[in-house]
Structure 1
């Protein structure tokens, strides 16, 4: 039996997977489409060419170029590396006097750990408003909208995600159409996708599209709230097999919250009385950090988490209420960082 398909669930492997699929003449988006999804400069150019609503964006390398670009975008603005993920190094700049330090942080953040290869950053118009993502499946260029995820972010100036909620039911038509147009503009042909959108005062704007399933356990939330298994469906698409039938949803809504260390620390242990009682709505409670781990907040550390909890509920509000209860009961033992 030969190789049936190539699929990746990792942002930094999207281009490699596309090249392997093309070399083996298997289903997949083209290497050019994968490159557009990985390089945010190419992504913005594709959106502009196709008339897809997205923030004004200017590529820059030096501080002088960033300063000049800010004249076009205005303040507040966002600086972001062109080829990282997980909101690593993305920073909000509200005033001109913050620009130099924000530029330094953006250029330095996460490069050694996450392998950024470009020195370029994007200077972008800031779209104020709630952030959502659209989770989709693509087969031969046809986009099926599966679910919408509402996002919870850490306080500004950072954009790291601290939680997600998925509620079953149809995605608002305007948002679904915008996500579909964005995917078509990039030339995505096969697999699961993750389209991030800001709901601004002048309408929704596409922030970026990932040519792979969402991270941060969002596929599990989608499965719990809709019955659709995005990870299995992505593999089925790559192999040319029919999409698996949706299961019965576990609950109308599902959510995850990531527990921040709250401050830079040397982690020792953590526990929760609520989690220990194992309520029926608690799907998972995980302490990821281990004794001795050094956890830092942005800009000194990104995605440093104590752990997370996944819950179900009748709606978004009930999920958030249950997560609040869990977080209030969380006891963290830690030491200060010395030196």
Structure 2
């Protein structure tokens, strides 16, 4: 038998062959074309055009299962959660159920379950026609947010402030599977962690710099871990723990929750996912907790014994304060950016994702970047100041050519 892995992540973040070598089982990795070469040297990796929406991915997986049955099916990215769950159900394979996957992927289902359990969520409604949108706006007023019920990376998310915005939005036509919700004023936090054998082993909050729609204005996205002494730290931990207990949370999973903290001091859930947070959240946790969230979840899902560091088990919090920043592309041709040896030593990871001469037409999601950086500091305030400093450094010293 073998392990099937649906993959949208680069090899440097998910070296499955190393993580699972103790199983001594064949690995089959289905992934997008640009990522495939790094995996093909390590395991059987098949690449697909239009990977996110290509249903031939599932068809090929089912054909392969007839010849060599899969013992486990693993998904580490948002787009693949339902894919994996449907195949598990069809093939009778242990792991996250389809019911659980839908509860975490379908924002209407998610908020319906949580609202019934008295968890504060934004007013929301499913949109099947213009009438649904109009009724919601008449009931709740502007501004409202329209987004896919199963979206990710803030793709195709739109804020409507008035009738003029609504007319412009509707001119393009309503796509299927949409929801509308009331726009919530407040600061956004994300809370990340891991569940092992049904126990929440780590749950730690961070504060966003800007917000997940900042890319629409060409602004960077970043965040930094909260200190244990921050009064919001235990509140956000309790809040997300309650959410995970209400939802049909998998026995082994990472999670990424986004929560508003309003001017009225309320906590309101934006959404929660049963996978590791994007951007460089994985690297933040490696440095802050000596723990790789995705690695633990993948190993545990495949039946390997895993342990968490004593620092995590005792709830002491990060060994140092960490933050990340992702800088989106501009419209034009990327020419150059600062080199690694030109950066301060408190930049602990620097990834340049653009190549000289590469053309960009701007960002399309909240995780479209040309550069990502991770920084460290003694306090939240120091990390925040350094993130802003390095953002300014790249704004002044990255060279673009209009086209």
TM-score (norm 2): 0.71
1:163 — aligned with what?
222
1:114 — aligned with what?
none
Secondary structure of the structure 2 residue equivalent to 1:266: strand
Shifted more, 44-53 versus 126-135: the winner is: 44-53
Q: CA deviation at 1:60?
A: 1.0
1:34 — aligned with what?
101
1:195 — aligned with what?
257
Query: Retained in 1: the 8 A contact 2:226–2:233?
Result: no
Q: How does 1:83-98 map to 2 (within 5 A)?
A: 83-98=150-165
Query: 340, 350, 360: which one pairs with 1:295?
Result: 360
Query: 193, 208, 212: which one pairs with 1:151?
Result: 208
TM-score (norm 1): 0.83
Larger Rg: 2
1:143-172, Cα deviation, whole Å (9 max, x unpaired): 344211211235769598711212453873
Q: CA deviation at 1:315?
A: 1.7
Residues 1:59 and 2:126 aligned together: yes
Q: How does 1:134-145 map to 2 (within 5 A)?
A: 134-145=191-202
2:321 — aligned with what?
253
Secondary structure of the structure 1 residue equivalent to 2:350: strand
Secondary structure of the structure 2 residue equivalent to 1:329: helix
1:99 — aligned with what?
166
Query: 316, 327, 330: which one pairs with 2:391?
Result: 327
Count residues in correspondence.
Answer: 323
1:183 — aligned with what?
244
1:273-321, Cα deviation, whole Å (9 max, x unpaired): xx423533211222211233332346x6764422111111112221222
Query: Retained in 2: the 8 A contact 1:166–1:222?
Result: no
1:244 — aligned with what?
307
Query: Retained in 1: the 8 A contact 2:2–2:72?
Result: no
Q: Which runs of 5+ in 1 are unaligned?
A: 108-117
**Cα RMSD after superposing both structures:** 3.0
Query: Retained in 1: the 8 A contact 2:280–2:372?
Result: no
Secondary structure of the structure 2 residue equivalent to 1:6: strand
Query: Retained in 1: the 8 A contact 2:220–2:327?
Result: no
Residues 1:270 and 2:329 aligned together: no
Query: 169, 180, 185: which one pairs with 1:123?
Result: 180
Residues 1:286 and 2:348 aligned together: no
Shifted more, 36-45 versus 326-335: the winner is: 326-335
